Amino acid sequence: MVLIEGSPWRPAMNFLPSFQFFNVAIGSAAKAVEAARKRAGASEDAAMRVVRELSPPEIASIKLREGEAKPA
């Protein structure tokens, strides 16, 4: 571990981050994140973000209906 002088101390985390990906058929990024959060059972404090938009052919190929979310 390297400590840089003047940098804030950050205690060790008791958990490892969970990298879960969800496909969501919602156009709004904010609403897509909320749908994935609900599907994952994640708390409001969980860090979640959109990775990229799905194209219409991708949505069709994974058989998502509008508003639906499922693990990728």
Q: What is the pLDDT of residues 10-23, one digit of tens each?
A: 666 666 667 888 89
CA-based torsion, 19, 71, 37, 27: positive or negative = positive
Whether 28 is in a domain gets the answer: yes
**3 state DSSP class of 14:** coil
Please indicate, yes or no, if residue 43 is contained in any of the structural domains.
Answer: yes
Q: What is the pLDDT of residue 34?
A: 92
Q: Which domain holds residue 67?
A: 22-71
pLDDT digits (tens, 9 = 90+) for 21-60: 889 888 888 999 999 999 888 888 888 889 888 888 888 8
Tell me, yes or no, whether 62 lies in a domain. Answer: yes
Query: What pLDDT is attached to residue 9?
Result: 67
**Residue 69 scores a pLDDT above 60:** yes
Domain count, the chain: 1
42 within some domain: yes
- Does 3 have pLDDT greater than 60? no
Instruction: Report whether pLDDT(7) > 80.
Output: no
